Protein backbone atom coordinates (compact mmCIF):
# COMPACT_ATOMS: atom_id res chain seq x y z
CA UNK A 1 0.00 0.00 0.00
CA UNK A 2 1.01 3.67 0.04
CA UNK A 3 3.00 3.36 3.26
CA UNK A 4 5.46 0.90 1.73
CA UNK A 5 7.50 3.61 0.01
CA UNK A 6 8.30 5.22 3.36
CA UNK A 7 9.62 2.12 5.13
CA UNK A 8 13.26 1.23 5.51
CA UNK A 9 16.31 3.45 5.24
CA UNK A 10 15.57 4.89 1.81
CA UNK A 11 16.42 8.59 1.51
CA UNK A 12 15.50 10.86 -1.36
CA UNK A 13 18.30 12.71 -3.21
CA UNK A 14 17.98 16.48 -2.85
CA UNK A 15 20.37 19.18 -4.02
CA UNK A 16 21.02 22.00 -1.57
CA UNK A 17 23.07 25.16 -1.16
CA UNK A 18 26.04 24.08 0.96
CA UNK A 19 25.72 26.93 3.46
CA UNK A 20 22.28 25.64 4.52
CA UNK A 21 23.92 22.49 5.90
CA UNK A 22 26.30 24.54 8.03
CA UNK A 23 29.25 24.52 5.64
CA UNK A 24 31.28 27.72 6.00
CA UNK A 25 31.32 28.68 2.34
CA UNK A 26 29.72 32.11 2.37
CA UNK A 27 31.56 35.25 1.27
CA UNK A 28 32.20 36.19 4.91
CA UNK A 29 33.37 32.70 5.88
CA UNK A 30 30.10 31.97 7.67
CA UNK A 31 27.18 29.65 7.05
CA UNK A 32 23.38 29.66 7.18
CA UNK A 33 22.74 26.31 8.84
CA UNK A 34 19.02 25.54 8.96
CA UNK A 35 17.80 23.31 11.79
CA UNK A 36 14.53 22.22 10.14
CA UNK A 37 16.39 21.13 7.02
CA UNK A 38 19.13 19.22 8.83
CA UNK A 39 17.04 18.00 11.75
CA UNK A 40 13.66 17.10 10.23
CA UNK A 41 14.09 16.81 6.48
CA UNK A 42 17.46 15.12 6.97
CA UNK A 43 15.59 12.06 8.23
CA UNK A 44 14.10 11.56 4.75
CA UNK A 45 16.36 13.43 2.32
CA UNK A 46 19.91 12.61 1.26
CA UNK A 47 21.37 16.08 0.76
CA UNK A 48 23.88 16.72 -2.00
CA UNK A 49 25.46 20.10 -1.12
CA UNK A 50 26.94 22.45 -3.69
CA UNK A 51 28.19 26.03 -3.71
CA UNK A 52 28.61 27.44 -7.23
CA UNK A 53 30.61 30.45 -6.04
CA UNK A 54 33.24 28.21 -4.48
CA UNK A 55 33.07 25.88 -7.48
CA UNK A 56 34.10 28.65 -9.89
CA UNK A 57 37.11 29.46 -7.75
CA UNK A 58 35.96 32.35 -5.57
CA UNK A 59 37.73 32.14 -2.23
CA UNK A 60 36.53 31.96 1.37
CA UNK A 61 36.22 34.65 2.52
CA UNK A 62 35.75 36.70 -0.66
CA UNK A 63 34.37 39.95 -1.94
CA UNK A 64 30.58 39.65 -2.22
CA UNK A 65 28.94 39.50 -5.63
CA UNK A 66 25.60 40.88 -6.76
CA UNK A 67 23.27 41.11 -9.74
CA UNK A 68 23.85 44.27 -11.74
CA UNK A 69 21.80 45.87 -14.52
CA UNK A 70 24.34 47.39 -16.88
CA UNK A 71 23.93 50.30 -19.27
CA UNK A 72 22.58 47.89 -21.93
CA UNK A 73 19.85 46.79 -19.45
CA UNK A 74 21.35 43.31 -19.26
CA UNK A 75 21.56 41.52 -15.92
CA UNK A 76 25.07 40.47 -14.98
CA UNK A 77 26.57 38.93 -11.84
CA UNK A 78 29.52 41.07 -10.80
CA UNK A 79 31.74 41.92 -7.87
CA UNK A 80 30.00 44.29 -5.47
CA UNK A 81 33.15 46.40 -5.34
CA UNK A 82 33.97 46.38 -9.06
CA UNK A 83 31.28 45.86 -11.72
CA UNK A 84 34.00 45.11 -14.28
CA UNK A 85 34.64 41.79 -12.53
CA UNK A 86 31.91 39.73 -14.21
CA UNK A 87 31.20 36.15 -13.11
CA UNK A 88 27.99 35.59 -15.09
CA UNK A 89 29.29 33.19 -17.71
CA UNK A 90 31.31 31.22 -15.17
CA UNK A 91 28.20 30.67 -13.03
CA UNK A 92 26.10 29.78 -16.08
CA UNK A 93 28.67 27.25 -17.23
CA UNK A 94 28.89 25.91 -13.71
CA UNK A 95 25.14 25.30 -13.71
CA UNK A 96 25.34 23.41 -16.99
CA UNK A 97 28.35 21.41 -15.80
CA UNK A 98 26.31 19.89 -12.93
CA UNK A 99 23.73 18.40 -15.31
CA UNK A 100 24.74 14.78 -14.78
CA UNK A 101 24.06 14.78 -11.04
CA UNK A 102 21.19 17.28 -11.19
CA UNK A 103 19.19 14.92 -13.41
CA UNK A 104 18.97 12.34 -10.61
CA UNK A 105 17.59 14.78 -8.01
CA UNK A 106 14.03 14.81 -6.72
CA UNK A 107 14.24 18.41 -5.49
CA UNK A 108 16.54 21.29 -4.67
CA UNK A 109 16.68 23.75 -1.74
CA UNK A 110 18.35 27.05 -2.58
CA UNK A 111 19.66 29.97 -0.51
CA UNK A 112 17.32 32.93 -0.69
CA UNK A 113 18.59 36.36 -1.81
CA UNK A 114 21.78 34.87 -3.26
CA UNK A 115 22.98 36.31 -6.61
CA UNK A 116 24.04 32.78 -7.55
CA UNK A 117 21.43 30.59 -5.82
CA UNK A 118 18.37 32.77 -5.16
CA UNK A 119 15.18 31.38 -6.73
CA UNK A 120 13.27 34.66 -6.86
CA UNK A 121 13.20 38.28 -5.67
CA UNK A 122 16.98 38.63 -5.67
CA UNK A 123 18.12 42.24 -5.61
CA UNK A 124 19.20 43.68 -8.94
CA UNK A 125 21.37 46.74 -8.50
CA UNK A 126 21.80 49.72 -10.79
CA UNK A 127 22.73 53.35 -10.39
CA UNK A 128 19.44 54.23 -8.70
CA UNK A 129 17.80 51.73 -6.33
CA UNK A 130 18.02 47.93 -6.11
CA UNK A 131 14.86 46.08 -7.11
CA UNK A 132 13.87 42.61 -5.92
CA UNK A 133 13.10 41.08 -9.28
CA UNK A 134 16.08 38.86 -10.05
CA UNK A 135 16.98 35.16 -10.09
CA UNK A 136 20.41 33.81 -9.12
CA UNK A 137 22.51 32.84 -12.14
CA UNK A 138 23.12 29.22 -11.05
CA UNK A 139 19.51 28.82 -9.90
CA UNK A 140 18.24 30.13 -13.23
CA UNK A 141 20.26 27.51 -15.11
CA UNK A 142 19.03 24.74 -12.81
CA UNK A 143 15.37 25.72 -13.29
CA UNK A 144 15.69 26.07 -17.06
CA UNK A 145 17.51 22.75 -17.42
CA UNK A 146 14.95 20.92 -15.24
CA UNK A 147 11.63 22.80 -15.39
CA UNK A 148 9.80 19.92 -13.69
CA UNK A 149 12.14 19.76 -10.68
CA UNK A 150 10.69 20.83 -7.29
CA UNK A 151 12.77 23.85 -6.24
CA UNK A 152 12.35 25.95 -3.11
CA UNK A 153 14.23 28.45 -0.96
CA UNK A 154 14.94 27.85 2.71
CA UNK A 155 13.19 31.07 3.71
CA UNK A 156 9.91 30.00 2.12
CA UNK A 157 9.94 26.70 4.01
CA UNK A 158 8.74 28.67 7.02
CA UNK A 159 5.36 29.04 5.30
CA UNK A 160 3.26 25.96 6.13
CA UNK A 161 1.49 25.86 2.76
CA UNK A 162 4.67 26.32 0.71
CA UNK A 163 6.50 23.78 2.87
CA UNK A 164 3.81 21.15 2.39
CA UNK A 165 3.61 21.90 -1.33
CA UNK A 166 7.35 21.49 -1.87
CA UNK A 167 7.68 18.29 0.13
CA UNK A 168 4.62 16.78 -1.55
CA UNK A 169 6.21 17.49 -4.94
CA UNK A 170 9.51 15.94 -3.84
CA UNK A 171 7.80 12.69 -2.86
CA UNK A 172 5.79 12.71 -6.10
CA UNK A 173 9.01 13.19 -8.07
CA UNK A 174 10.57 10.28 -6.20
CA UNK A 175 7.60 8.07 -7.09
CA UNK A 176 8.01 9.06 -10.74
CA UNK A 177 11.68 8.07 -10.76
CA UNK A 178 10.76 4.76 -9.17
CA UNK A 179 8.14 4.21 -11.87
CA UNK A 180 10.60 4.96 -14.68
CA UNK A 181 13.28 2.74 -13.15
CA UNK A 182 10.87 -0.21 -13.30
CA UNK A 183 10.31 0.28 -17.02
CA UNK A 184 7.59 2.69 -18.08
CA UNK A 185 4.54 1.30 -19.87
CA UNK A 186 1.16 2.72 -20.85
CA UNK A 187 -0.47 0.74 -18.06
CA UNK A 188 1.98 2.00 -15.45
CA UNK A 189 1.52 5.58 -16.60
CA UNK A 190 -2.24 5.17 -16.31
CA UNK A 191 -1.86 3.66 -12.84
CA UNK A 192 0.45 6.49 -11.74
CA UNK A 193 -2.14 9.01 -12.90
CA UNK A 194 -5.00 7.16 -11.21
CA UNK A 195 -3.15 6.97 -7.89
CA UNK A 196 -2.49 10.73 -8.03
CA UNK A 197 -6.00 11.64 -9.19
CA UNK A 198 -7.18 13.01 -5.85
CA UNK A 199 -3.95 14.93 -5.24
CA UNK A 200 -4.24 16.53 -8.67
CA UNK A 201 -7.89 17.39 -8.03
CA UNK A 202 -6.91 19.20 -4.85
CA UNK A 203 -4.50 21.39 -6.82
CA UNK A 204 -6.17 21.95 -10.19
CA UNK A 205 -9.14 19.97 -11.46
CA UNK A 206 -8.76 21.27 -15.02
CA UNK A 207 -5.17 20.05 -15.14
CA UNK A 208 -6.27 16.68 -13.81
CA UNK A 209 -8.71 16.27 -16.71
CA UNK A 210 -6.15 17.44 -19.28
CA UNK A 211 -3.56 15.01 -17.94
CA UNK A 212 -6.15 12.25 -18.10
CA UNK A 213 -6.75 13.02 -21.77
CA UNK A 214 -3.00 12.90 -22.42
CA UNK A 215 -2.73 9.48 -20.78
CA UNK A 216 -5.81 8.16 -22.60
CA UNK A 217 -4.33 9.18 -25.95
CA UNK A 218 -0.89 7.69 -25.32
CA UNK A 219 0.22 4.90 -27.63
CA UNK A 220 3.28 2.67 -27.60
CA UNK A 221 4.81 4.89 -30.26
CA UNK A 222 4.14 8.12 -28.34
CA UNK A 223 4.89 6.82 -24.83
CA UNK A 224 8.35 8.36 -24.46
CA UNK A 225 7.34 11.81 -25.65
CA UNK A 226 3.97 11.73 -23.88
CA UNK A 227 5.61 10.72 -20.60
CA UNK A 228 7.89 13.78 -20.82
CA UNK A 229 4.87 16.01 -21.45
CA UNK A 230 3.02 14.32 -18.61
CA UNK A 231 5.81 14.85 -16.09
CA UNK A 232 6.17 18.55 -16.91
CA UNK A 233 2.42 19.21 -16.72
CA UNK A 234 2.02 16.98 -13.66
CA UNK A 235 4.69 18.80 -11.65
CA UNK A 236 3.44 22.18 -12.87
CA UNK A 237 -0.04 21.29 -11.61
CA UNK A 238 1.25 20.24 -8.20
CA UNK A 239 3.14 23.53 -7.91
CA UNK A 240 -0.19 25.35 -7.78
CA UNK A 241 -1.34 25.73 -4.20
CA UNK A 242 -4.08 23.32 -3.21
CA UNK A 243 -7.08 25.38 -2.09
CA UNK A 244 -9.30 24.65 0.88
CA UNK A 245 -12.29 24.47 -1.46
CA UNK A 246 -10.60 21.87 -3.66
CA UNK A 247 -9.64 19.82 -0.61
CA UNK A 248 -13.27 19.91 0.54
CA UNK A 249 -14.41 18.63 -2.86
CA UNK A 250 -11.88 15.79 -2.67
CA UNK A 251 -12.84 14.91 0.91
CA UNK A 252 -16.50 14.78 -0.07
CA UNK A 253 -15.61 12.62 -3.07
CA UNK A 254 -13.78 10.20 -0.77
CA UNK A 255 -16.70 10.28 1.65
CA UNK A 256 -18.88 8.80 -1.09
CA UNK A 257 -16.93 5.54 -0.93
CA UNK A 258 -18.16 5.06 2.64
CA UNK A 259 -21.87 5.75 2.16
CA UNK A 260 -22.81 2.06 2.23
CA UNK A 261 -20.61 1.30 5.26
CA UNK A 262 -21.17 4.04 7.84
CA UNK A 263 -24.15 4.33 10.15
CA UNK A 264 -25.99 7.63 10.46
CA UNK A 265 -23.95 8.83 13.45
CA UNK A 266 -20.62 8.20 11.72
CA UNK A 267 -21.86 9.87 8.52
CA UNK A 268 -22.94 12.90 10.52
CA UNK A 269 -19.57 13.08 12.29
CA UNK A 270 -17.73 12.94 8.97
CA UNK A 271 -19.91 15.61 7.38
CA UNK A 272 -19.46 17.83 10.42
CA UNK A 273 -15.68 17.34 10.41
CA UNK A 274 -15.35 18.23 6.73
CA UNK A 275 -17.52 21.30 7.27
CA UNK A 276 -15.34 22.44 10.17
CA UNK A 277 -12.31 22.10 7.92
CA UNK A 278 -14.08 24.12 5.21
CA UNK A 279 -14.64 26.92 7.73
CA UNK A 280 -10.97 26.89 8.75
CA UNK A 281 -11.72 25.71 12.28
CA UNK A 282 -9.51 22.61 12.08
CA UNK A 283 -6.50 21.59 9.95
CA UNK A 284 -6.60 19.11 7.08
CA UNK A 285 -5.08 16.35 9.19
CA UNK A 286 -8.34 16.00 11.19
CA UNK A 287 -10.68 14.87 8.37
CA UNK A 288 -7.82 12.88 6.80
CA UNK A 289 -7.26 11.02 10.09
CA UNK A 290 -10.97 10.33 10.47
CA UNK A 291 -11.22 9.01 6.91
CA UNK A 292 -8.18 6.79 7.39
CA UNK A 293 -9.82 5.43 10.54
CA UNK A 294 -12.99 4.51 8.66
CA UNK A 295 -11.12 2.95 5.74
CA UNK A 296 -9.16 0.74 8.12
CA UNK A 297 -12.53 -0.62 9.23
CA UNK A 298 -14.03 -0.66 5.74
CA UNK A 299 -11.15 -1.10 3.26
CA UNK A 300 -11.47 0.13 -0.30
CA UNK A 301 -8.86 -0.81 -2.90
CA UNK A 302 -9.09 2.47 -4.83
CA UNK A 303 -8.68 4.64 -1.72
CA UNK A 304 -5.91 2.41 -0.37
CA UNK A 305 -3.97 2.91 -3.60
CA UNK A 306 -4.52 6.66 -3.72
CA UNK A 307 -1.59 8.80 -2.62
CA UNK A 308 -3.91 11.54 -1.37
CA UNK A 309 -4.44 9.89 2.00
CA UNK A 310 -0.72 9.31 2.64
CA UNK A 311 1.34 11.56 0.30
CA UNK A 312 4.42 11.54 2.56
CA UNK A 313 5.42 10.15 5.99
CA UNK A 314 2.93 11.22 8.65
CA UNK A 315 5.85 11.99 10.99
CA UNK A 316 6.47 15.16 8.97
CA UNK A 317 3.14 16.52 10.31
CA UNK A 318 2.70 18.75 7.28
CA UNK A 319 -1.10 18.57 7.27
CA UNK A 320 -1.28 19.80 10.86
CA UNK A 321 -0.85 23.42 9.80
CA UNK A 322 -2.87 23.65 6.57
Residues 123 and 266 in one domain: no
Residues 107 and 204 in one domain: no
- What is Dmax (Cα atoms) for the chain? 75
Residues 210 and 304 in one domain: yes
Q: For residue 246, give its domain range.
A: 160-322
Rounded (10°) angle between helices 186-195 and 205-216: 160
Residues 164 and 230 in one domain: yes
Torsion of CA 305, 307, 311, 315, to 10 degrees: -20
Where the chain has pLDDT below 50, the residues are: 1-5, 8
Residues 7 and 81 in one domain: yes
Residues 210 and 136 in one domain: no
Residues sharing a CB contact under 8 Å with residue 317, sequence separation 6 or more, in sequence order: 285
pLDDT digits (tens, 9 = 90+) for 304-322: 999 999 999 999 999 999 9
Residues 182 and 136 in one domain: no
Residues 144 and 204 in one domain: no
Question: The sheet that has 108-110: what strands, in order across it?
Answer: 45-50, 12-17, 108-110, 151-153
Residues 81 and 141 in one domain: yes
Residue that terminates a domain, selected from 157, 181, 209: 157
Residue that terminates a domain, selected from 133, 157, 181: 157
Residues 173 and 140 in one domain: no
Residue 80 φ then ψ, to 5°: -65, -20
Residues 93 and 175 in one domain: no
Cα-based angle 315, 321, 322 (whole degrees, multiple of 5):
115
Q: What pLDDT is stored for residue 72 in this prediction?
A: 87
pLDDT digits (tens, 9 = 90+) for 38-78: 999 999 999 999 999 999 999 999 999 999 998 888 999 99
CB contact at 8 A, 18 and 26: no
Q: What pLDDT is stored for residue 128 in this prediction?
A: 81
Residue that terminates a domain, selected from 114, 133, 157: 157
How distant, in Å, are the alpha carbons of 104, 243, 251, 315 from that of 287?
Answer: 35, 15, 8, 17
Residues 244 and 319 in one domain: yes
Number of domains comprising the chain: 2
Amino acid sequence: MTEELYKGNLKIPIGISSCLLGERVRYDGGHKGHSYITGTLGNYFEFQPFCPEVAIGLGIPRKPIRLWRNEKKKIRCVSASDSNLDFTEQLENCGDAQYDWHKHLCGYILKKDSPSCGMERVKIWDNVMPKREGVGVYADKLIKNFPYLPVEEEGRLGDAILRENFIQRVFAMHRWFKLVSQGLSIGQLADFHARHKLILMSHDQTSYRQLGQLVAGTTRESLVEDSKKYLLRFMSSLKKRASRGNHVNVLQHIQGYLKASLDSDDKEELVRTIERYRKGQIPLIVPITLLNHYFRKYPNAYISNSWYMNPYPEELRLQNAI
